[in-house]
Amino acid sequence: VQLQASGGGLVHSGGSLRLSCTVTGFTLRDYVIGWFRQVPGKEREGVSCISGRRGPTYYVDSVKGRFTISRDNDKNTVYLQMNNLKPEDTAVYYCATRNAKRNGDTCPNPASMDYWGKGTLVTVSS
């Protein structure tokens, strides 16, 4: 199982970025995918989650109306469209997954996720 996040970069406040998480080794439909972010000195935060079959299941309040999570099962890729970015969105963004059929806590709890990709840095300048 591998996840590869990409699409980070430097943008001005109000700008947009689209993050991609390409997965290999499993079928996206059977898994929950989450986007998380972390800044130095703070805990990792769940940003958005999507079920392989049911669609988006979670957005943290601070990104509602600005971020959109989506998936392309044929490409085994999950996207996070980030619009109207703010300096407080600056963080390393990670994608992670867990099997949707497994019982227990799930996304957006970081501890519930089984596999993580390497992060991609998003920097929003004011």
| Model confidence pLDDT, tens digit, residues 85-126 | 999 999 999 999 998 888 877 899 999 999 999 999 999 999
63, pLDDT greater than 90 = yes
Residue 28: strand, helix, or coil: helix
* CB 106 within 8 Å of CB 32: yes
Q: Please measure the distance between the N-terminal and C-terminal CA atoms of the chain and give it in whole angstroms.
A: 37
Q: What is the pLDDT of residue 54?
A: 85
* CB 22 within 8 Å of CB 3: yes
Q: What is the pLDDT of residue 103?
A: 81
| H-helix or E-strand spanning residue 9 | strand 9-12
Range of weakest confidence among 13-17, 38-42, 50-54, 118-122: 50-54
Pairwise CA distance, residues 57 & 26, whole Å: 20
Residue 84: strand, helix, or coil: coil
List, in sequence order, every residue forming a beta bridge with 17; answer none if it has no partner. Answer: 82
Confidence class of residue 29 from pLDDT cuts 50, 70 and 90? confident
In order of 62, 85, 102, 116, 124, the CA distances from 31 in angstroms are 25, 28, 9, 13, 30
Q: What is the pLDDT of residue 90?
A: 98
Pairwise CA distance, residues 1 & 7, whole Å: 20
